[in-house]
Structure 1
Amino acid sequence: MAAIDEQIEQVERRFGVQLPEDYRLFLRSRTGMSQFVPPADDYLMLDSADELIDINEAGEFQERFPGSLVIGGDGARELLTYDFRQSPPPLVLLDTAASDWSAAIPQAPSLTVFLDQFPETGWIWGGDSR
């Protein structure tokens, strides 16, 4: 088994989730990303598999957002997060200072849709849902 597959399995065991297949493929094909994405020119960070456990255990995030899994963000306070309270889990944006799920801003129903739309739309900052 490849090291990346072992890291993915560790994340799934630790948080009791099964990562969506498109996200698994992303993790296998890249070591994360951190860049401005044109033409929207918004900053997008997607964490590598070996960062996920530490990021998700920081700041009591799991206690405030049970069923969450942070996978990246905007490079500042906003975190791109899977909402595993739903099946399949959509992606939402959560502020690091938010106290509960009521602050979640829907981004996309899957990583594939998110990555397809992000260059044009960038981050959704209102209550708009895709």
Structure 2
Amino acid sequence: MTAIDERLERVERHFGVHLPEDYRLFLRARTGVSQFVPPADDYLMLDSADELIGINEAGEFQDRFPGSLVIGGDGAREMLTYDFRQSPPPLVLLDTAADDWSAAIPQAPSLTVFLDQFPETGWIWGDED
């Protein structure tokens, strides 16, 4: 077993989830992302496997959003989050100040779809898009 696979299994055990395969493949290939993505020119951060437990615990996301797993965000208050209340878990955007799941803004059904559409659409902010 590789070191990254061990870290991914640690995350899965810690949160009691099974990470989607496309996300596992992404983390095996990259340590994360932190950049403006053209042509949408929105800022995208995707955290490394080593950061996942700490980031999720620091924000107390499990308390406010049971079944959530934050994997990145916009570099500010908005967090890209898997919603493990559903299977397969879609990606949603959650404000760090939100109280509950009612504030979730759907982004994509998978990381693959999200990464394919993000350069053109950037963040989806809801009805006003």
TM-score by length of 1: 0.97
Q: Where does residue 17 of structure 1 map in the other structure?
A: 17
Kept after mapping to 2: 8 A contact 1:70/1:82: yes
SS of alignment partner, residue 126 of structure 1: coil
Alignment of 1:45-124 (within 5 A): 45-124=45-124
Q: Which runs of 5+ in 2 are unaligned?
A: none
Cα shift at 1:127: 4.2
Give the AA of the match of 1:112.
Answer: T
Instruction: Report how far residue 58 of structure 1 moved.
Output: 1.1
Deviations 1:55-103 (A, max 9, x none): 1111221100000000000000000000000000000000000000000
Whether the aligned pair in 2 keeps the contact of 1:82 and 1:92 (CA below 8 Å) is: yes
- Give 1:27 shift: 0.4
- Corresponding letter in the other structure for 2:124: I
Paired residues, number: 128
RMSD: 0.9
Which segments of structure 1 move beyond 6 Å, counting only runs of 4 or more?
Answer: none
Length-normalised TM-score, structure 2 = 0.97
Structure 1 equivalent of residue 31 of structure 2? 31
What is the SS of the residue equivalent to 2:107? strand
CA contact (8 A) 1:70 1:80 kept: yes
How many Å apart are 1:50 and its aligned residue? Answer: 0.4
Q: Distance in 2 between matches of 1:60 and 1:99?
A: 11
